[in-house]
Structure 1
């Protein structure tokens, strides 16, 4: 799987709560060691412990690239989605759990899906059948894994919402725009319906009656409380997390011209330096931490490209000299860029 370094400058992100909930059982499924996988991906376990944090998509893709390299499973996204639980979505998950029926749960998903990560956009199209589709902004090979994780996760969670020991709900059909995997039978066995690949859209089709299925955990009082909490978090997300994403995007655009300073970034965003600093601090991040994180993510992607020399990479990351890049990479990874490249 090739990851476009340009993703590092895009606003997409994934909830740390989601990764923290699905990663342990996923690695157990593949018999992989979590500490080893996180170390190979350059992900600090402390990042996953912050349930309210959002991880840049480029870091999430690097994590799953490590898993893919060790398993060779082109159904990695599907296996990830099967493991989704309510806690994977935090407040959003509990708001869905307390909904009256599946239709109301889907409406809340559409409204608050940013809380699980600013990644894609879901859309509900009424009719017979009802279509629940997803628009993934990621292109290329990674889109396959991201899309399968999202859509399989919908069905997995819906079963937890309305199913019981004797009944397992299934969509009428599932659809994916990418090519079929080597083992497509496991998809149809698990979905319990036809699964179409190279389709016109990504999503599922449902019988209209499914929207009226009551939820086992329906609780009107809790639902109202969770909806207020979700609305407050969404407002906070729009005010704060979008700022973090905007700063990261500006840094990405400016890196190849040399190390960007906060003054230049603030000017491009039309903000005073103190205003930018204080807003970042309110969301638990510093300008330097964003710059370091972006450089580290990009460095590990660039080092996988044999066409780029170390001096090329240093310039792309805004370092004046290759020696400065070497020192920074040793600080991030505890090894030289050459040693890291050799391991890959």
Structure 2
């Protein structure tokens, strides 16, 4: 491993550590993980540092099933705007295909693949969710596959006929703990970590699908992240979004978050056909639109939250972006969506408030159906 991952993968870490009497902030500092990653989904963290943090915490607490416990605090919402497209797909197979296509937004090294059944049964397949850069350490593997299991349970609203679970490591926690969590036979020291399921699961239709929301989310994903090879630009967008309103959004700060030199970042963005300034302008535009249309904050405060020092600067930018004044945009006299693409993040929040569909729950991940 050697890339970055959104800190959404750490959701629940603080809770579990504190349950065992540990100090989450001290642990993150020890393994050089930004402390803000404990309470935010969009901090970019080295996947190596995160994996070492999980292994170290599991050892010192001690909590050998740390990866499983963390997953119980996570829901499909950790995928960000991708979650809207996934949960509104017509079938399980379509949802997994969508997740596979855009999973690089969560981490450029994560992959979701459907493989032949390792047991050789023609009616079954294996669902693999892991890293393209080798097998992650034990706790990261547990957390990744446990989240995958819980996501599928959420999509089908219950058990999904899980046959068995294969894990590529020897367990530290008792084998019975894994069997209880997954509700199925668990085999260790396997060639790959995967879930064995009936092939027919892929054709299972999802309930409560909203085709309009799915199209909005896919339009957003395709317009902002058109191909998996463009992995630096979305990471920079996330970094800028994190910096707005808290620190000056500069390329050297973004480069530091991504663990690279500013000139290297400039070159990689240029290779993807964009630049830091263009991404900053896009993020400011989308943030300004959300704040103007979904809050009553004073315009001076809106300016500060999008990284502009004066209200007059906000007015000039809003006129350039939308062809209207901030007051007109707020009153509805301006455009109905930001120039460029629909704000899928806003639709994610709206959809959660209206339906509550992105909550998996925090109980056992067991699957007892056969």
TM-score by length of structure 1 reads 0.61
Q: 1:198 aligns with which of 189, 203, 208?
A: 189
**Aligned counterpart, 1:157:** 151
**Is the 8 Å Cα contact of residues 86 and 98 (structure 2) preserved in structure 1?**
yes
Once residues 261 and 150 of structure 1 are traced to their aligned partners in structure 2, the CA distance between those partners, rounded to angstroms, is 30
CA separation of 1:244 and 1:96: change in aligned 2, threshold 3 A? closer
**SS of the residue aligned with 2:22?**
coil
**Aligned counterpart, 2:126:** 131
Once residues 219 and 133 of structure 2 are traced to their aligned partners in structure 1, the CA distance between those partners, rounded to angstroms, is 31
How big is the alpha-carbon RMSD for the aligned residues of Structure 1 and Structure 2?
3.9
- Report whether the alignment pairs 1:145 with 2:135: no
CA separation of 1:55 and 1:262: change in aligned 2, threshold 3 A? closer
**SS of the residue aligned with 1:235?**
coil
CA separation of 1:241 and 1:29: change in aligned 2, threshold 3 A? farther
**Aligned counterpart, 1:90:** 80
**Is the 8 Å Cα contact of residues 111 and 129 (structure 2) preserved in structure 1?**
yes
Q: 2:166 aligns with which of 167, 171, 175?
A: 175
**SS of the residue aligned with 2:96?**
helix
Please state how far the C-alpha of 1:210 moved relative to its aligned partner. 2.1
1:17-56 alignment, distance < 5 Å: 17-19=8-10, 21-47=11-37, 51-56=41-46
Once residues 206 and 266 of structure 1 are traced to their aligned partners in structure 2, the CA distance between those partners, rounded to angstroms, is 42
- Report whether the alignment pairs 1:219 with 2:213: no
**Aligned counterpart, 2:57:** 67
**SS of the residue aligned with 2:225?**
helix
**Is the 8 Å Cα contact of residues 244 and 280 (structure 1) preserved in structure 2?**
no
Q: Which one is further off, 39-48 or 79-88?
A: 39-48
Please state how far the C-alpha of 1:208 moved relative to its aligned partner. 2.3
Stretches of structure 1 lacking an aligned partner (at least 5 in a row): 1-6, 252-259, 285-344
Please state how far the C-alpha of 1:276 moved relative to its aligned partner. 7.6
Please state how far the C-alpha of 1:101 moved relative to its aligned partner. 2.5
Please state how far the C-alpha of 1:235 moved relative to its aligned partner. 3.3
Once residues 266 and 146 of structure 2 are traced to their aligned partners in structure 1, the CA distance between those partners, rounded to angstroms, is 43
**Is the 8 Å Cα contact of residues 179 and 185 (structure 2) preserved in structure 1?**
yes
**Aligned counterpart, 2:106:** 116
How many positions carry a matched residue from both structures?
Answer: 258
Once residues 234 and 135 of structure 1 are traced to their aligned partners in structure 2, the CA distance between those partners, rounded to angstroms, is 21
Bigger fraction of residues in helix: 1
Once residues 72 and 283 of structure 1 are traced to their aligned partners in structure 2, the CA distance between those partners, rounded to angstroms, is 45
Q: 2:222 aligns with which of 225, 231, 249?
A: 231
1:7-26 alignment, distance < 5 Å: 10=2, 12-19=3-10, 21-26=11-16
**Aligned counterpart, 1:294:** none
Once residues 74 and 139 of structure 1 are traced to their aligned partners in structure 2, the CA distance between those partners, rounded to angstroms, is 22
**SS of the residue aligned with 1:151?**
helix
Once residues 91 and 243 of structure 1 are traced to their aligned partners in structure 2, the CA distance between those partners, rounded to angstroms, is 12
Once residues 162 and 39 of structure 1 are traced to their aligned partners in structure 2, the CA distance between those partners, rounded to angstroms, is 39
Please state how far the C-alpha of 1:270 moved relative to its aligned partner. 12
Q: 1:100 aligns with which of 87, 90, 95?
A: 90
**Is the 8 Å Cα contact of residues 81 and 149 (structure 1) preserved in structure 2?**
yes
**Is the 8 Å Cα contact of residues 101 and 218 (structure 1) preserved in structure 2?**
no
Q: Deviations over 1:275-306 (max 9, x none)?
A: 9875897799xxxxxxxxxxxxxxxxxxxxxx
Once residues 181 and 104 of structure 2 are traced to their aligned partners in structure 1, the CA distance between those partners, rounded to angstroms, is 27
**Is the 8 Å Cα contact of residues 153 and 160 (structure 2) preserved in structure 1?**
yes
CA separation of 1:70 and 1:119: change in aligned 2, threshold 3 A? same
**SS of the residue aligned with 1:55?**
strand
Q: Deviations over 1:6-61 (max 9, x none)?
A: x5xx3x22112332x33244335534343443344443343456544432213313
TM-score by length of structure 2 reads 0.57
